[in-house]
A and B are shown apart, each in its own frame.
Chain A
Amino acid sequence: MLPLVDLESDFLFSDLDSLGVTTILMTLSAEYGIELEAKDATPKNLRNLDSIAAMVEEKLKVKSEE
């Protein structure tokens, strides 16, 4: 389940509502086994798919180093 917004957009965060942000955080947590928090849900991290991918990669890197 993903929010029905244009995921290719460069203005993803502004297109999303609170339910959309939560849905993305939940989906990424479940899909990649990473812990996401409120502080990760920033306009910068959720600007577009590339910034989301970068956030996930960073979380995976931290997880692998633990």
Chain B
Amino acid sequence: MKSEESVLEMHCIEDYLNLWAEENPAKPAVICDGETLTYEQLWQQVKERSREYQQAEGSAVLVRNTQSIDFLIQYFATHLAGKAAVPVEEDCTPDRLGSIQHQINACTIPVDVADILYTTGTTGQQKGIMISHKAIIADAENLISAMQFTKDLLFVISGPLNHIGSLSKIWPTIMVGATLCITSGMKDMNRFLQALSLPYPKVATFLVPTSIRMLLQFARKEFSGIADKIDFIETGAAPMSQSDMEALCQVLPHTRLYNTYASTETGIICTHNYNSDYCVAGCLGRPMPHSSVFITPEGNVACKGDTLMVGYVGDEELTRKVLQNGTLFTSDCGRIDQQGRLHLTGRTGDIINIGGYKVNPIEVEDAALSFPAVADCICAPSPHPVLGTVLRLYVVPKNDTVINKKELAAHLTQKLEHYKVPQLFSIVDHIERTYNGKLNRKFYTTNT
């Protein structure tokens, strides 16, 4: 056994992987598509792969998210080789891949940076958010402390591993020596439910509100049937409706159900178990041990603590705008109640939240305007009975042209990640603009 002191000296998640490979080698570390790797096997493969990465040039490695054990091996191996991992979507377009690689090659990545996660910024430009090993450890400890991750847990990941929501669940699971199960999204809900039914005494998972609504709508009976073994479910990334929260509490009466405040920039900050005497939409609970939160005079949420990002890759000016003297200023609007619980009330800016993914409408519009038949367009949120919010693109065709919606969607799919491609298309004769000629986003938001 390693002494308690050596555990305290751990500086990165890979140290824990190594620890459990020595102390509990036969314990399953990860399960995916019927394949299982023990901690010893996983560590062995990580070490072998890291030797390849040590030879490679550059201080960062792009890792395409294949939602598989191999992704996990590449991710850990990159860290072990002393480089930063840059997880990107599986369907990342060649243009985007090239642009990310170019940005990373042109910058100096600080030594402690473990991950660089790419998201869309308020200007429509992609932003590479640098996360340190220290932040990863703090995030993991926050989650373990708040949600009681234990080594007999099977944590089922269904969301994309290049997104903070799912990626961040690898950290506490490995830190406590529990088992991960990787599934491929909610397209095949049966496979997800089968993963929850694996022979483990307790299971937990992270689900965005859209996935919860899908399960409530189409798999309530099956979900209810395995209620007793579901230890906890964390949700986050998007607002969850009061009715869905209450419905989930009813289906899973004994499960801890957490609504978490987190983002790539802030890390994991607050959480609240709403399967309690306080089940209120928008309540995200109190800060976790490594974090603190306050509301600025303008009403925005600001965060402090070890989980905060290092900064944006190659954009010191933007970093300085949001990260000042150890405080990260978000665009989320909120309040803190008398019990110290954070409540979110909205968001400033034009970003649209689609199932936990932040989409900048400008990026969608720019891509649509490159379609030859499009004269003008605007991308806006549109309500959907199950999915909550989807994207709708209002399009004005060029003179005497007919827009084929499928061809337009295919064009956008070539240029954008899948979640940025609108589900709905409306052909209109003009786009509403403000008095100074800007797109009137408010009109399309309030009139949908």
B281 to chain A, nearest CB (A): 22
Question: Does chain A have a CB within 8 A of B416?
Answer: no
Return the contact of A22 from the options B193, B214, B421, B425 (Cβ within 8 A): B214
Question: Does chain A have a CB within 8 A of B386?
Answer: yes
Report how far A19 CA is from B422 CA in the complex, Å. Answer: 11
- List B contacts of A18 (CB < 8 A): 185-187, 211, 214
Report how far A50 CA is from B58 CA in the complex, Å. Answer: 51
> CB-defined interface of A1-34 with B at 8 Å, one 1/0 digit per residue?
1011010000000001111111101100000000
Question: Does chain B have a CB within 8 A of A38?
Answer: yes
Is the CB–CB distance between B390 and A19 below 8 Å?
Answer: yes
Is the CB–CB distance between A1 and B423 below 8 Å?
Answer: yes
Is the CB–CB distance between A3 and B218 below 8 Å?
Answer: no
A: interface residue count bin: 20 to 34
Is the CB–CB distance between B387 and A19 below 8 Å?
Answer: yes
B47 to chain A, nearest CB (A): 35
Question: Does chain B have a CB within 8 A of A42?
Answer: yes
> CB-defined interface of A43-56 with B at 8 Å, one 1/0 digit per residue?
10000000000000
Question: Does chain B have a CB within 8 A of A65?
Answer: no
Is the CB–CB distance between A42 and B221 below 8 Å?
Answer: no
Question: Does chain A have a CB within 8 A of B219?
Answer: yes
Which of B179-227 touch A at CB < 8 Å? Answer: 185-190, 193, 210-211, 214-215, 217-219, 221-222
Is the CB–CB distance between B385 and A26 below 8 Å?
Answer: yes
A28 to chain B, nearest CB (A): 11
Inter-chain CB contacts under 8 Å: number:
62
B: interface residue count bin: 20 to 34
Question: Does chain B have a CB within 8 A of A36?
Answer: yes
- List A contacts of B438 (CB < 8 A): none
B200 to chain A, nearest CB (A): 21
- List B contacts of A23 (CB < 8 A): 387, 423
Which of B417-448 touch A at CB < 8 Å? Answer: 418, 421, 423-425
- List A contacts of B321 (CB < 8 A): none
A4-B409, A16-B187, A41-B188 known; A26+B418 contact, CB < 8 A: no
Is the CB–CB distance between A42 and B190 below 8 Å?
Answer: yes
Is the CB–CB distance between B406 and A41 below 8 Å?
Answer: no
- List A contacts of B406 (CB < 8 A): 4, 6
Is the CB–CB distance between B424 and A17 below 8 Å?
Answer: no
Report how far A1 CA is from B405 CA in the complex, Å. Answer: 12
Report how far A39 CA is from B405 CA in the complex, Å. Answer: 31
- List B contacts of A43 (CB < 8 A): 188
Return the contact of A38 from the options B185, B215, B387, B421 (Cβ within 8 A): B215
Q: Which residue of B lies closest to A36 (CB)?
A: B218
Q: Which residue of A lies closest to B192 (CB)?
A: A38
A34 to chain B, nearest CB (A): 12
Is the CB–CB distance between B190 and A26 below 8 Å?
Answer: no
B434 to chain A, nearest CB (A): 29
A22-B387, A25-B218 known; A38+B190 contact, CB < 8 A: yes
Counting chain A CB atoms within 10 Å of each CB, which of B217, B218, B221 scores highest? B218
Report how far A22 CA is from B215 CA in the complex, Å. Answer: 10
A22-B387, A37-B221, A42-B190 known; A3+B423 contact, CB < 8 A: yes
Report how far A39 CA is from B188 CA in the complex, Å. Answer: 9
* A-to-B contact residues, CB < 8 Å: 1, 3-4, 6, 16-23, 25-26, 36-39, 41-43
9 A–B contacts, CB within 8 A, in A order? A1-B424, A6-B406, A19-B390, A22-B214, A22-B386, A38-B189, A39-B190, A39-B222, A41-B190
For the A-B complex with A1-B423, A16-B187, A18-B211 known, give 15 more contacts whose Cβ atoms are closer than 8 Å. A3-B423, A4-B409, A4-B423, A6-B406, A17-B187, A17-B418, A18-B185, A19-B390, A20-B187, A22-B214, A23-B387, A23-B423, A36-B218, A37-B218, A39-B222
* B-to-A contact residues, CB < 8 Å: 185-190, 193, 210-211, 214-215, 217-219, 221-222, 355, 385-387, 390, 405-406, 409-410, 418, 421, 423-425
**Interface pairs A-B: 6 shortest CB-CB:** A38-B189, A38-B219, A4-B409, A18-B187, A18-B186, A38-B218
